[in-house]
Amino acid sequence: MNIRSYIAENRARFIEEWAGLIRIPSVSCQPAHKDDMLRCAERWCELLLEAGVQRAEIMPSEGHPFVYAEYKYPNADANTPTVLVYSHYDVMPVEPIDLWHSNPWEPDIRDGRLYARGADDDKGQAMIQVKAFEYLVTEGLMKCNVKFIFEGEEEIGSPNLTPFIMQHKELLR
């Protein structure tokens, strides 16, 4: 199936999965959202497994957890490349709330565009990456290994990204 047909056939599911992520207020800089951060990481693990990775897990850090997932190409050999996909699942606060035209945690489609906190930066971008991966796996087109690393602290300067990378160098190779 070509990519346009795949998107058309799965559009409603893609939007609902994206909207489900958006509804999780994963605001890394607000302690009141600590549980939401974990819930968002857990949902990403589920979505990555559904997309075709063989392994997805939440990995702790000194701050918010990381999501690590991997796909090993079944016919891989020593020369098979590995692609590392980076994203983040935290979002900026919604304040001042009175500037929003709708509830920032409830996706609102207006004039064919979806509006909500995190709809683009970065849940939208990450969703595109995961759904492109899903398509390639589903259609048997994925010919490389893929590793995903999603962090929950990009909006606060990624203070635990470097320590995480240093601690997990072999995993991320």
> What CA–CA distance (Å, rounded) separates 36 from 144?
33
Map tokens 């690590």 to a residue. 68
Tokens standing for residue 118:
């995190």
Sign of CA dihedral 143, 148, 154, 159: negative
In the annotation, is 70 catalytic?
no
Active-site entry in 90, 122, 134, 153: 90
Give the CA angle between residues 146, 9, 133 to the nearest 5°: 5
Residues 70, 153, 154, 155: which is the catalytic one?
A: 154
Residue 154 among the catalytic residues: yes
Catalytic residues: 90, 154
